[in-house]
Amino acid sequence: MAERIIKLPDVGEGIAEAELVEWHVKVGDIVREDDLIAAVMTDKATVEIPSPVEGEVTWVGAEIGDTVAIGSALVKLKVSGGAASEEAAEAEAPAEPPKEKLVAAAAPATPAAALEPAPKQLPTPKPAQAQARPASVATTSAPRRPVGEKPLASPAVRLKAREAGIDLRQIQGSGPAGRVTHEDIDAFILRGPEAPAKGGLVAKTAITDVKVVGLRRRIAEKMALSKSRIPHITIVEEVDVSALEDLRAALNKKPTAERPKLTLLPFLMRAMVKALGEQPGLNALYDDEAGIIHQHAGMHIGIATQAPSGLMVPVVKHAEARDLWGCAIELARLAERARDGSATRDELTGSTITITSLGALGGIATTPVINHPEVAIVGVNKMAVRPVWDGTTFVPRKMMNLSSSFDHRVIDGWDAAVFVQRLKELLETPATLFVDM
């Protein structure tokens, strides 16, 4: 038996370190070649690290939340035969780092090694959402985790459980180290949860400690920075979108690939382009340490998007150069890439103003937090039919509130109100969105 050191491989061009967000193994576990051993996060992309060899875990080199440098020791394995090998690990390292995908939801390719013999190489880390593991690779020699203990599962399995309303702690995984698989969830759904113990109501005293790591920690840091540095002023305005909804319904009657069905957001984006053209001071980034406001001619609109791993903000670049359908197509593309985890760093950065919307879940009003270092954010609230006085009688109208926040250090209340009223005017008379004025 020999000891094998597995190092953190190069997980992307220019990446020097990554945050450890999940262990799939622990000391004493038996892993097989290509079994997952850990998941790390770089910027907003989660990458799963597979094992290049079969062996027993004798040491793990970091805790959840730690920052690990590329090339540093990640785990040690006791392997059969051969010499222990920092050198061998380096020799088997991938020739070049994995490249970010340029298309969303691409099917995993068949490894060339499966078609013809070739020298073994360290498997390339794969994006968490794109990797699916067959049940056949699970090893029965690894100990199972007891029901109720924090489960091990890939992001895809966690998403499947969340959509099915299942608590993964109720499932005993059949994979390595008790890892929960898709087959375990399917079996649980067929079997159904165990019946609760009889005897009436029972007091619950358990406390679950959840360490804030990965994307959730980045979101927490960004929100804390925004609220600590930016004095927010929020304006809530009621908008009659009846005419806009009628126009949207008419435009959506015959959708095509070039002109897909429209949601409300492309209309709002076009309204923001017009309003920002009149008030360029709102399409800006504020460097408060240098005391400089960077006003941008290009309008790069971030769209707050809820993904399985947390909140992301993909960016529609140069919205001023896109028509209504161009905004819709790019928005749909970016939202899909954010949700499946394939969005690139460039697609998630560079916004100059942001839209946040909770859709049908939205309330009457919200107080959006500005995406630092931007100076404004527009929030979309729930649409509802309300009685509106037209001067003679009450009539039903489709109404929606906009909640917009501004950096009061650089945006005066008057300028903020002018911007909001301009958005209201454009949305209530949507024909003006198609006219240069």
- Between CA 226 and CA 212 the distance in angstroms is 18
Widest CA span in the chain: 91
- Two tokens, residue 209: 């400690």
- Strand-pair partners of 407: 232
The yes-or-no answer on residue 408 being catalytic is: yes
Q: How far is CA 106 from CA 163, 304, 306, 307, in A?
A: 22, 24, 21, 18
**Does 412 qualify as catalytic in the annotation?**
yes
For residue 139, what is the DSSP state? -
Catalytic residue (one of 372, 412, 415, 436)? 412
Contact 271, 278 (CB under 8 A): no
Between the alpha carbon of residue 152 and those of residues 75, 133, 215, 258, the distances in Å are 17, 13, 18, 43
Of residues 246, 408, 415, 436, which has the active-site annotation? 408
**Tokens 């309008």 sit on residue:** 299
| Separation CA 70–CA 10 (nearest Å) | 6
Matching residue, tokens 């949700």: 339
The set of residues, in sequence order, having a beta carbon less than 8 Å from that of 247 and lying 6+ positions away, is 430, 431
Q: Cα–Cα distance between 19 and 41 in angstroms, integer?
A: 5
DSSP secondary-structure letter at 12?
S
Tell me which residues are annotated as active site: 408, 412
